[in-house]
Amino acid sequence: MISIDLIQSTAEVLMDKAAIEIPDDYLTGLKHAASTEDGDLSSFVLQAMLDNYKAAKEDRRAMCGDTGCPRWYVKMGNDAVIEGGPVALETALRQATANATNGVPLRPNRVHPLWRTDHDNNVGIGAPEIEYGFEPAAPDEDKADWIDLITVHKGGLFGTDYRMLFPSDGIEGIKRFYLDSLVAFGKRGLACQPAIIGIGLGGSKDTCMVLGKRAACLRTVGNMNSDPRIAELEAEFKELGNSIGMGAMGFVGKNMVIDCNIEVGYCHTGGMQMSVHAFCLSSRRSVARLHADGRIEYRTDPDWFTPYQRRETVLWEPMLEAAE
C-alpha cells in the first residue's frame, strides 16, 4: 500500500521542483537553440532566459512570475493500492497544490470564470486538473505496485488552437493549420516561444485536445513517436516551424520550435481533428515514482506514452501472447 502522507509530501516537493527547475531536456534544447541563433534581439532573449533558469535555481524562486496552472497526471501501476483510496489521493494533491502556492510561492492564478473569485491557492472547481492513466507491470517487474505523480505547470493564454479538418485536407491542411497557429501566436512572442509544440491528431474533439496537450507536456525534447512515419513528420514540422524566420518574442530569428511532438488517436472515418499546443519557455514538469515499499524516485521525464498507452488492439499484447 502506498502511504497517503508520502503522496502529499512528495507532491509538495514536485510542485516546488516544477516551478523552479527547468527540466534538463528542455534546457539542452534551448542551449542548442541559443548556439544557433543569430538574430541580435532573439539571441539576447535566449541568453537572458538561460541566466534566468540559473537565477531561479540559485535563489530557489519560481522561474517565471506566471507560474501557470498546476495540474496533475497520475499513472497507476496495475497493482498499486493507495491508502485511503482515490478520494484521499485527490485530497492530497489538492492540499499539496494549495500549500505549495503559498510556500514556493506561486501566483494564485485560478479564479472562477464568471465571478473571478480567487481562493489564493490555485484550488477551485475542477482545479487543479487530475488525469489518470494505468500501466501493466513491465516485463522485468513482478508487480506494478507503484504510482507516478506528474505535475505540469502549464502556462499560457496563447498558443493553443483546435480545428476540425477532414481527410481531404491532407498533410497540406495539417501544415497550414500548424503554421497558422505558430504565426498567429508567435507574433510579439505571445506563445512564449521557443516552445515544445504538441500536436493532437484524431480522437474526438475533446480527446484531440488532450492528446495534443499531452504531446507538448508529457514528452521530452528529443523524444520521437514510436511510429517511424509520425516521427518523420515530427522532424519535418520542427524544421518547418524554425524556417518561418521568427524567433523568441516574435523577433527575427530561427528558433520557434524546440521540439515538435505528435500524438494520434483513432477518429471518426470522415474526420481528422487537429489541435496545436505550445509548452513555453517555462516548460515546467516534474515527476516522482512512489513504490509500495516507500521508495521515491524523482525524474523529469513523465514517460507517459508507453506502448501500452498507444495500444491499438482489444487485448494488451503480452496478455495476448500469454493466451496463445
Partner 1 sequence: MKPRQIRLSTTPTDEALAELRLGDIVYLDGLMYTAREGVYMRALEDKANIPMALPSQSAANFHCSPAAAIKPDGSFDLGAVTATASFRFAKWLPEWMAKTGAKLIVGKGGMTSKDYKKFFVPNGALYLSTVGYGTGALLGRGVEKVEAVHWNEELGLAQAMWVLKCNNMGPFIVASDMQGNCLFERENAKIAANLDKIYEGTRPATLKRYGETDDRSDELI
Instruction: Give contact residues for partner 1 (rule: CB under 8 A).
Output: 19, 40-41, 44-45, 48-49, 51-53, 55-56, 59, 61-67, 101-109, 111, 116, 118, 120, 157-158, 163-166, 168-170, 172-173, 175-177, 179, 183, 187-190, 192, 240, 243-246, 248-252, 280-282
Between 90 and 169, CB nearer to partner 1 = 169
CB of 33 to partner 1, least distance (A): 13
Look up residue 113 and give its three cell numbers: 470564470
CB of 192 to partner 1, least distance (A): 5
Calpha distance 161→177 (Å, rounded): 9
Query: 122, 106 in Cβ contact below 8 A?
Result: yes
Between 120 and 227, CB nearer to partner 1 = 120
CB of 42 to partner 1, least distance (A): 9
Calpha distance 321→163 (Å, rounded): 39
Helices (H) and strands (E) in the chain, counts: 8, 9
CB of 4 to partner 1, least distance (A): 26
Query: 70, 97 in Cβ contact below 8 A?
Result: yes
Contacts of residue 284, defined as CB under 8 A and 6 or more positions apart, other chains included, come to 18, 19, 22, 23, 63, 67, 68, 152, 153, 154, 155
CB of 30 to partner 1, least distance (A): 11
CA distance to 16, 196, 225, per residue, from 199 (Å): 28, 10, 12
Strand ranges inside 47-194, DSSP E: 69-77, 130-135, 146-154, 161-165
CB of 126 to partner 1, least distance (A): 18
Spell 8-40 as b/e; 16+ CB within 10 A means b. bebbbbbbbbbbbbbbebbbebbeebbeebebe
Between 277 and 289, CB nearer to partner 1 = 277
Between 46 and 218, CB nearer to partner 1 = 46
Between 84 and 108, CB nearer to partner 1 = 108
Between 175 and 205, CB nearer to partner 1 = 175
Calpha distance 313→106 (Å, rounded): 43
CB of 280 to partner 1, least distance (A): 8
CB of 266 to partner 1, least distance (A): 21
Between 211 and 246, CB nearer to partner 1 = 246
Between 87 and 125, CB nearer to partner 1 = 125
Strand ranges inside the chain, DSSP E: 69-77, 130-135, 146-154, 161-165, 195-202, 257-265, 272-279, 284-291, 296-299
